[in-house]
Amino acid sequence: MRIAVIGTGYVGLVAGACLADSGNEVVCVDADARKVRALADGRVPIFEPGLEELVRKNGAAGRLSFTSDVAAAAEAEVVFLAVGTPEGEDGSADLAHVLEAAEGLARVREGYTLVAVKSTVPVGTGERIRRVMLQVNPGLDLDVASNPEFMKEGAAVADFQKPDRVVIGTLSERARALLGELYAPFVRTEKPILFMDPRSAELTKYAANAMLATRISFMNDIALLCERTGADVDLVRKGMGADARIGYSFLFPGVGYGGSCFPKDVKALIATGREGGLDLEILKAVERTNLRQKRALVQKAVRHFGALEGLLAAVWGLAFKPRTDDMREAPAIEVMEGLLGKGAQVRCHDPVAEPAARRWFHDRVEYARSIYDCVEGADALFVVTEWNQFRKPDLRKVKRLMRHPVIFDGRNVFDPARMRELGFAYYAIGRP
């Protein structure tokens, strides 16, 4: 099939590369000419396992191309919209990119046009896109389907190729047949394509993200309760997860959720509730707990040291989670700003997110090449992202290098008993 993808960020690029890899001819359109040039040269501007190989392989095979000219989408049988929907001033999703891209597309199309909206957009946006496109080009025979994306950063290619489900919101038989055919190679096992009306599909996306965020905040509350009562959240987590009705996923407490989606999507859903006269109290509490959690490590440090003025804090992990270089809404930002705000010096290390950190912190913090360089002479170590390479360091060496052997572990990567045996003052999340 001939496919166009408008917006070549995380979602658009992964979708485009995976659709090309299943034999389609895909053109990716992006307004950012620099990004387009890099991609056309086979350089992938984001760190995503397996993505660069897919882009190069399918580019070389002539199935995947990049352009900033939306006219390239004129002949596509399906056009995906995958542009960003950032947080607007009042917390609602800002649809400027989506509507602008839709308008641009309407100008270059004739006849039947199927738009599949991959961007996360509030309920009713499909209808808005339809109105905008028909205003620009009343002659279009137009279907606008909702096709929300559920991939996780760091595992985006695998999630796209082996989805738990594909959600397609459309009432048009023609759109249903085209999208069903396109996704068939990805759902060959028992995983379903769920067809539904567009509004339900749009809301499914927000409800799923909000549910996952809720589980995390709930566990962060339980972790705090563990700290107050002497229980161990890791045992509580296992005891809860063993119940098949609860399951183990997304029950890890930590320094709060970050990333480009949970924070903005929870806010946008609260805004949708507000517009409908509904106060979504659970989600407001989810947000409050998340902010408290992002501040928890610095509070623990203040309790330990009294004051942080003049201390050297080492921070392991900058990305909002492992296997990505993305620092959008990363807990590390809140942690490091908190430390700087209290007069500490900060030295940080991340296997891939240093460039992202430099864009935020510039030279307000030091950047270390390795975990060991990072802790040399430090008064405290903060573990903020659970990269694999942080799990089994030479802890005796870490202790030797540090000025004070104090660890604030925001991801519970170490065993508290062993840490104490080694002589560390060790603070985890919800563990005695």
Ligand X SMILES: O=C(O)[C@H]1O[C@H](OP(=O)(O)OP(=O)(O)OC[C@H]2O[C@@H](n3ccc(=O)[nH]c3=O)[C@H](O)[C@@H]2O)[C@H](O)[C@@H](O)[C@@H]1O
Angle between helices 125-136 and 96-108 (to 10 degrees): 40
CB 180: neighbour CB atoms within 10 A?
A: 14
Cα-Cα-Cα-Cα dihedral sign, residues 207, 272, 92, 274: negative
- Give the x-and-dash track for 35-54 against ligand NAI (CB under 6 A): x-------------------
84 sits near ligand NAI (criterion: CB under 6 A): yes
Find, among 36, 111, 37, 41, the residue nearest to 79 by Cα: 111
Among 24, 65, 170, 260, binds ligand NAI (CB under 6 A): 260
Min CB(230)–ligand X separation in Å: 23
Number of residues counted as binding ligand NAI (CB under 6 A): 28
Which range touches ligand X (CB under 6 A), out of 14-22, 167-175, 245-253, 365-373?
A: 245-253
Residues 6+ apart with CB under 8 A from 262: 209, 212, 213, 216, 329
Among 258, 317, 351, 430, binds ligand X (CB under 6 A): 258
251 sits near ligand X (criterion: CB under 6 A): yes
Among 257, 316, 387, 424, binds ligand X (CB under 6 A): 257
Min CB(104)–ligand NAI separation in Å: 6
Coil, strand, or helix at residue 308?
coil
The pairing of strands 64-67 and 345-349 is unpaired
Among 66, 80, 160, 262, binds ligand X (CB under 6 A): 262
Spell out the alpha helix ranges (H) of 48-189.
51-60, 96-108, 125-136, 156-161, 173-183
CB 416: neighbour CB atoms within 10 A?
A: 17
Min CB(364)–ligand NAI separation in Å: 25
Residue 70 token pair: 């939306």
| End-to-end Cα separation, the chain, in angstroms | 57
Cα-Cα-Cα-Cα dihedral sign, residues 201, 98, 105, 6: negative
318 sits near ligand X (criterion: CB under 6 A): no
Min CB(268)–ligand NAI separation in Å: 9
Min CB(30)–ligand NAI separation in Å: 4
Q: Which of 28, 226, 261, 374 is catalytic?
A: 261
Among 183, 186, 195, 250, binds ligand X (CB under 6 A): 250
Distances (CA, A) of 51 to 16, 48, 301: 10, 6, 39
160 sits near ligand X (criterion: CB under 6 A): no
| Contact call for residues 225 and 231 (beta carbons, < 8 A) | yes
| Nearer to ligand NAI among residue 143 and residue 153 (C-beta) | 153
The pairing of strands 112-117 and 78-81 is parallel
Number of residues counted as binding ligand X (CB under 6 A): 20
Among 7, 126, 254, 317, binds ligand X (CB under 6 A): 254
Among 24, 147, 209, 345, binds ligand X (CB under 6 A): 209
Min CB(396)–ligand X separation in Å: 28
| Nearer to ligand X among residue 76 and residue 318 (C-beta) | 318
| Nearer to ligand X among residue 16 and residue 259 (C-beta) | 259
Distance between CA atoms of residues 399 and 298, nearest Å: 20
151 sits near ligand X (criterion: CB under 6 A): yes
Residues 6+ apart with CB under 8 A from 143: 112, 113, 114, 115, 170, 172, 174, 175
348 catalytic? Reply is no
Pick out residues in 334-373 that bind ligand X (CB under 6 A).
none
83 binds, among ligand X, ligand NAI, none (CB under 5 to 8 A by kind): ligand NAI
CB 100: neighbour CB atoms within 10 A?
A: 13
| Nearer to ligand NAI among residue 70 and residue 178 (C-beta) | 70
CB 250: neighbour CB atoms within 10 A?
A: 15
Residues 6+ apart with CB under 8 A from 170: 143, 145, 146, 176, 179, 195, 197, 198
Min CB(118)–ligand NAI separation in Å: 6
Which range touches ligand NAI (CB under 6 A), out of 2-10, 127-135, 170-178, 346-354?
A: 2-10
Min CB(254)–ligand NAI separation in Å: 18
* Residues belonging to the active site: 261
What residues make contact with ligand X under the rule CB under 6 A? 120, 149-153, 209, 212, 216, 250-252, 254, 257-259, 261-262, 320-321
What residues make contact with ligand NAI under the rule CB under 6 A? 6-12, 29-32, 35, 82-85, 97, 100-101, 104, 118-120, 149, 151, 153, 260-261
